[in-house]
Structure 1
Amino acid sequence: MMGRKRAALIAAGIGACTSVAQAESALRIAMTATDIPTTTGMPNNGFEGLRFLGYPVFEPLVQWDLTRSDRPATLKPGLAERWEQMPEDKRTWLFHLRDGVAFHDGTPFTADAVLWNLDRYFKADSPQYEVAAAGITKTRVPIIAGYRKVDERTVAVTTTVAASYFPYMMVYLLFTAPSSFEKGGRTWAGTAMLPAAGTGPFRITRVSPREAVDLARFDGYWDATRRAKVDRIRLMPIPEANARIAALRSGQVDWIEVPAADGIPSLKAAGFTVTTGSYPHVWPWFYNIGAKDSPFRDVRIRQALNYCVDRDAIVGFLNGTAEPAVGWLKADDPSFGAPQNHYGFDPERGRALLAEAGYGPRKPLAFPVMISTSGSGQMLPLPMNEFLQENLKQSCGVEVRFEVVEWQVLLNATRALPDAASLSGAMALNVSSPTSDAGVMARYFSSDRFPPGGFNFPNWKDETFDAALQRLSDSTDPAVIAAATRTAHERLVDDPPWLYVVHDRNPRAMSPRVKGFIPAQSWFLDLSLVSVQ
Structure 2
Amino acid sequence: MNRRDLLLGAGALATTPALLPSPAKAQADRGMLRVAMTTGDIPLTTGQPSQGAEGNRFLGITLYDPLIAWDLSKADAPPALKPALALSWAVDPADTRRWTFQLRPGVAFHDGSAFTAESVAWNLAKLLDRDAPQFDRQQAAQGSLWIGSIARWAVRGPLTIEIETRTPDAVLPFSLANVFFSSPARWEALGRSWERFAEKPSGTGPYIADRFIPRQRLEAVRNTAYWDPARIPKHERLALIPMPDALTRTAALLSGQVDLIEAPPPDAAARIRAGGGSVVTNVYPHNWCFHLSFVEGSPFRDLRIRKAANLAIDRDGIVGMLAGMAAPAAGMVTKGHPWFGTPSFEIRHDPDQARRLLAEAGFGPRNPVKVRLIISPSGSGQMQPLPMNEAIQQNLRAVGIEVEFDVMDWEALRARRRAGAEAPENRGCHGINNSWAFWDPDIGLLGPAQSTDRRPGGFNWGHFIDPEADALAIKARATFDPEAQRQVLAALHARIVDQAMWLWVVHDVNPRGLARRVKGFVQAQSWYQDLTPITLEG
Tell me if 1:309 matches 2:313.
Answer: yes
Contact 1:80 1:98 in 2 (8 A): yes
Contact 1:70–1:521 (CA under 8 A) maintained in structure 2:
yes
Matches of 1:374 and 1:384 in 2, distance apart? 11
**Using a 3 Å threshold, how does the CA distance of structure 1 residues 470 and 184 change in structure 2: closer, same or farther?**
same
Q: Give the 5 Å matches for 1:487-506.
A: 487-506=491-510
Cα pair 2:278 2:513 within 8 Å, conserved: yes
Q: After superposition, what is the alpha-carbon deviation per residue over 1:451-495, rounded to whole angstroms, capped at 9, x for unaligned?
A: 744221110012222211222221222332111011000011001
Residue equivalent to 1:343: 347
Q: Which amino acid aligns with 1:273?
A: S
Report the equivalent of 2:236: 231
Decide which of 393, 401, 404 is 2:404's aligned counterpart.
401
- What TM-score comes out, normalization by structure 1 length? 0.95
Unaligned 5+ residue runs, structure 2?
Answer: 1-8
The answer to whether 1:216 aligns with 2:224 is no
2:153 to 142, 147, 151: 147
* Structure 1 residues 180 and 293: alpha-carbon distance in aligned structure 2, compared to 1, 3 A threshold: same
**Alpha-carbon shift at residue 180 of structure 1 (Å):** 1.6
1:363 paired with 2:380, answer no
**What residue is the counterpart of 1:77 in the other structure?**
83
Deviations 1:494-528, CA, capped at 9 Å, x for gaps: 01221000001001100121111111111001111
Q: What does residue 179 of structure 1 align with?
A: 185
1:62 aligns with 2:100: no
Task: Quote the residue 2:519 is aligned against.
Answer: 515
> Is the Cα contact below 8 Å between 1:43 and 1:133 reproduced in 2?
yes
Tell me whether 1:90 sits opposite 2:93 in the alignment: no
Distance 1:424 1:319 in 2: 36
Q: Distance in 2 between matches of 1:513 and 1:398?
A: 48
State the AA in 2 paired with 1:470: I
| 1:376 match: secondary structure | coil
Structure 1 counterpart of 2:247, one-letter code: N
SS of structure 1 residue aligned to 2:306 = helix
**Secondary structure of 2:29's aligned partner:** helix
Distance change in 2, residues 1:72/1:117 (3 Å): same
| Kept in 2: contact 1:61–1:79 (CA 8 A) | yes
Aligned letter for 1:293?
A: G
Q: Conserved in 2, the CA contact under 8 Å of 1:471 and 1:480?
A: no
Structure 2 counterpart of 1:407, one-letter code: W
Instruction: Output the amino acid matched with 1:460.
Output: F
- Alpha-carbon RMSD across the aligned residues, in angstroms, is 1.9
In structure 2, the CA distance between the partners of 1:8 and 1:459, relative to structure 1 (3 Å rule), is farther
Aligned partner (choices 190, 195, 200) of residue 189 of structure 1: 195
Amino acid in the other structure paired with 1:418: A
Give the distance between the partners of 2:456 and 2:162, measured in 1 at CA: 27
Whether 1:267 aligns to 2:267 is no
- 2:4 aligned residue: none
Q: Could you tell me how far 1:289 is from its partner in structure 2?
A: 1.1
Question: Which is further off, 410-419 or 450-459?
Answer: 450-459
What SS does the aligned partner of 2:180 have? Answer: coil
Structure 2 distance, partners of 1:482, 1:467, is: 15
One-letter amino acid matched to 1:248: L
What residue in structure 1 maps to residue 328 of structure 2?
324
Structure 1 residue 294 displacement after superposition: 0.9
List alignment gaps of at least 5 residues for structure 1. Answer: none
Aligned to 1:477: 481
Separation (CA, whole Å) in 2 of partners of 1:419 and 1:428: 12
Aligned to 1:165: 171
SS of residue matched to 1:403: strand
Q: Do 1:273 and 1:511's aligned partners in 2 also have CA atoms closer than 8 Å?
A: yes
User: Which one is further off, 198-207 or 183-192?
Assistant: 183-192
* Superposition TM-score, scaled by structure 2 size: 0.94
Distance 1:424 1:403 in 2: 12
Residues 227-306 of structure 1: pairs in structure 2 closer than 5 A: 227-290=232-295, 292-306=296-310
Count of residues paired in the alignment? 526
Q: Which residue of 2 aligns with 1:412?
A: 415
Structure-2 change in CA distance of 1:118 and 1:16 (3 Å): farther
Equivalent residue, structure 1, for 2:459: 455
Quote how far apart the aligned CAs of 1:105 are.
Answer: 1.0
Deviation at 1:417, TM superposition (A): 4.0
Distance 2:490 2:13 in 1: 48
Q: Which amino acid aligns with 1:437?
A: D
Shift of 1:41: 1.0
SS of match in other structure, 1:198: coil
Aligned amino acid, residue 87 of structure 1: P
What does residue 430 of structure 1 align with? 433
What corresponds to 2:138 in structure 1? Answer: 132
**Structure 2: how far apart are the matches of 1:309 and 1:141?**
35
Contact 1:141 1:172 (C-alpha < 8 Å) held by counterparts: no
Is residue 2:449 matched to residue 1:445? yes
Shift of 1:428: 0.7
Q: Residue 142 and residue 419 in structure 1: after superposition, are their counterparts in 2 closer, same or farther (change >3 A)?
A: closer
Q: Deviations over 1:114-141 (max 9, x none)?
A: 1111111110011110101011112222
The structure 1 segments of at least 4 consecutive aligned residues displaced by more than 3 Å after TM superposition are 1-5, 7-12, 14-19, 449-453
Contact 2:289–2:505 (Cα < 8 Å) also in 1: yes
Q: For the Cα contact (< 8 Å) 1:450–1:457, is it kept in 2?
A: no
1:20 is aligned to 2:28: yes
Given the superposition, is the C-alpha separation of residues 10 and 370 from structure 1 closer, same or farther in structure 2, using an over 3 Å criterion? farther
